[in-house]
Amino acid sequence: MQHYVCTGDCGGESERSKVCESEGCKNEGQPLSECSCTDGFHKGVLDTDHEIDLAEPMDDEDAL
Ligand SMILES: [Zn+2]
Ligand SMILES: [Zn+2]
């Protein structure tokens, strides 16, 4: 189901498009990002760099 998540610090979620309303969040006042994940991890929207970070150590072991 389509939903919207804040990519800032608050981790906010909404079923409808809106802006982040969390005071102090770096994305406060910014529109939430569309997401359609089914596992609740919002991987398509939230820090996708994390997956790359996890893969790097494996590459290092390969090189040894
Ligand atoms: Zn936020
Ligand atoms: Zn999601």
pLDDT tens across 20-57, in order?
A: 999 999 999 999 999 999 999 998 888 655 554 555 55
Structure tokens at 6: 């804040």
Unique residue bearing structure tokens 């979620």: 13
Distance, C-alpha 55 to centroid of its chain: 18
The pTM assigned to this predicted structure is 0.69
Rounded distance, CA 64 to CA 61, Å?
5
| Number of structural domains found in the chain | 1
pLDDT at 57: 56
Ligand with smallest separation from the Cα of 29: 1
- What does the alpha-carbon distance between residue 24 and residue 16 come to, in Å, rounded to a whole number? 21
Taking a 5 Å cut-off on Cβ, the residues next to ion ligand 2 are 35, 37, 42
Residues near ion ligand 1 (Cβ under 5 Å): 6, 8, 10, 12, 20, 22, 25, 27
Structural domain of residue 31, as residue ranges?
A: 3-63
